[in-house]
Structure 1
Amino acid sequence: MVLAARTAPKSRGEDYLVLRVLTGEEVLRLGEAMIEYGKKTGKKNFDRDGDNVKRSAAVLLVGLRDAKPLGLNCGACGWNQCQEMPPLREGPEFRGPFCFWRAVDLGIAVGSAVKTASLHNVDNRIMYRAGVVARQLGLIEAEVVLAVPLSVTGKNIYFDRKE
């Protein structure tokens, strides 16, 4: 999965991905911290997703770090020219803004990773919430992070979940 994410196509061939695999105690720590974050903030489903993470064998973290604008001046980020984009600032869960095309790169990389897991019959789910908390815990250094928990059991634990 890490290999698939790393070698996935990227805009102009520039790679701003950071990748990390969590196992064992780090997975449990992340799941427990997600549940606490949900309680503290009142945000929905951090507890549900945290329980899923705690029951996972591993978690792949995929993030963007120091991603420079592509330079197309396309306006997809909300500014007419790339140089108008303000410096990164810390938001409530992630740091931004950043180039839309770098976000597309992140999506392609995560898609490649989960496709690889699926080819090997490993249950998985892309989680924004786990990425938020992994970043806050310092498990990965990136502006934005997505997480992919992994499970191999008789039934996929990431579906038929209670709200």
Structure 2
Amino acid sequence: MWITTLSTWIRCWIIRVKSIRQHALSGGLIIANGFQNRKKQTGRIKKMGHLIGKEYCLEHLIEVAKSIVLAIHKAPQITGKTKIEAEIIWGEDILPIIEVMGPVAKVMRYVQWDYETIKNCYDKGESPVIILIGGKIASSNLNWNCGACGFSTCKEFNAYSKENKGGGQLGGPSCNWKVLDWAMACDWACASAWQYRVDNRIMGSVGFATNALGFMPNMDAQLGLALGPPRDMVYYNREEMHKSMSYELDKQDMVSCVPNMFTCFPGGGKPMYKTKDDWWAPPEFMGVGYSEQVMEAYQQVLFEQVPEMVVKHADKIAERYKNKNK
């Protein structure tokens, strides 16, 4: 009895398998026929694609940058009256920025870190994309008279600001409320970049260079957000800097740039600094004082070398904005 039942079950199973196979084949034909019908309707077959990752990274970075610019203009504001602008720069247009950063890097270490990173990435064919973020913050149309700027009224601040325009990367003097609005736009830009998993860092050094070159002439302050290349922690691990500096020089750099990270208990009035393994034998102290040598180096860079670089490119950059405003 059980043999008959098993035999019947096997025959049913074989019939079912054949049915499934036939149904699958007919389904494939239906799909194929459907494709052929679409071919007749459109007159063409969709081409296949093959993208090699890194070859398209720059194009993708530019598309991501466009989305980040949307985030910049969507960022909330406290005043609702701060004008924000953004520009996207890449390829050969980055070269003037690199050239201006070069001499400054000789006297300012944080600029050197940014300069070495951007320049070496560009030289290796991994050009970053830079989003320039500008804010109109050197005057107040709020009439809040809060006094945060140091003046009793917005009117007094505006009068002073008009006659005493600043320069450099952040300009100034500035309305504190508008600085907050601009800062939020920069924050949203950085957050948006990380949402796209794009390595990035906002840079005052780039803002200094673009301000000197005449980018965004209607903006009072500028910062540059560098995007890519597609490597991990490009602007924080600083792989390019590791190759150009010895360990001892790198360590001394850290002591000089962030001395608070190496200080002992400062309550005695003359804190010791842990600049070596046996920092207590003998202890070392850091002094405070005016440096004629440092000031001469600053002046030479800011008033001689930077203007020399700016003159090479300023007219061409200014022409773009003239054409844009026509």
TM-score category, normalised to shorter length: 0.7 to 0.9
Mapped pair 1:81 → 2:153: yes
Per-residue Cα deviation, 1:12-45 (whole angstroms, up to 9, x for no partner): 3224112111110122321232112333xx2332
Q: Per the alignment, in what secondary structure is the counterpart of residue 95 of structure 1?
A: coil
Q: Partner amino acid for 1:45?
A: Y
Per-residue Cα deviation, 1:117-157 (whole angstroms, up to 9, x for no partner): 10000111111111011110112222111110011323221
Query: What is the rounded CA distance, in whole Å, between the counterparts of 1:17 and 1:119 in structure 2?
Result: 22
Quote the residue 1:23 is aligned against. 90
Q: Is the strand fraction higher in 1 or 2?
A: 1
Q: Per the alignment, in what secondary structure is the counterpart of residue 161 of structure 2?
A: coil
Alpha-carbon contact 1:31-1:51 (below 8 Å) kept: no
Alpha-carbon contact 1:73-1:82 (below 8 Å) kept: yes
Q: Is the helix fraction higher in 1 or 2?
A: 2
Q: Partner amino acid for 2:185?
A: A
TM-score by length of 2: 0.46
Mapped pair 1:63 → 2:108: no
Alpha-carbon contact 2:79-2:178 (below 8 Å) kept: no
Point out the structure with max Rg over C-alpha. 2
Q: Partner amino acid for 1:87?
A: S
Query: What is the rounded CA distance, in whole Å, between the counterparts of 1:66 and 1:125 in structure 2?
Result: 22
Q: Per the alignment, in what secondary structure is the counterpart of residue 59 of structure 1?
A: strand
Moved more, 133-142 or 58-67: 58-67
Query: What is the rounded CA distance, in whole Å, between the counterparts of 1:111 and 1:22 in structure 2?
Result: 19
Quote the residue 2:166 is aligned against. 91
Which residues in structure 2 correspond to 1:146-161 (within 5 Å)? 146-161=223-238
Q: Partner amino acid for 1:91?
A: G
CA RMSD, 1 decimal: 1.9
Alpha-carbon contact 2:147-2:153 (below 8 Å) kept: yes
TM-score by length of 1: 0.88
Alpha-carbon contact 1:30-1:134 (below 8 Å) kept: yes
Quote the residue 1:46 is aligned against. 111
Alpha-carbon contact 1:53-1:59 (below 8 Å) kept: no
Moved more, 42-51 or 1-10: 42-51
Which structure 2 segments of 5+ residues have no match?
A: 1-67, 122-126, 242-252, 254-326
Quote the residue 1:129 is aligned against. 205
Mapped pair 1:102 → 2:178: yes
Query: What is the rounded CA distance, in whole Å, between the counterparts of 2:118 and 2:216 in structure 1?
Result: 16
Which structure 1 segments of 5+ residues have no match?
A: none
Moved more, 64-73 or 19-28: 64-73
Q: Per the alignment, in what secondary structure is the counterpart of residue 51 of structure 1?
A: helix
Moved more, 118-127 or 12-21: 12-21
Deviation at 1:92, TM superposition (A): 4.5
Query: What is the rounded CA distance, in whole Å, between the counterparts of 1:90 and 1:156 in structure 2?
Result: 37
Q: Partner amino acid for 2:203?
A: M
Q: Partner amino acid for 2:208?
A: V
Moved more, 91-100 or 139-148: 91-100
Percent identity over the alignment is 30
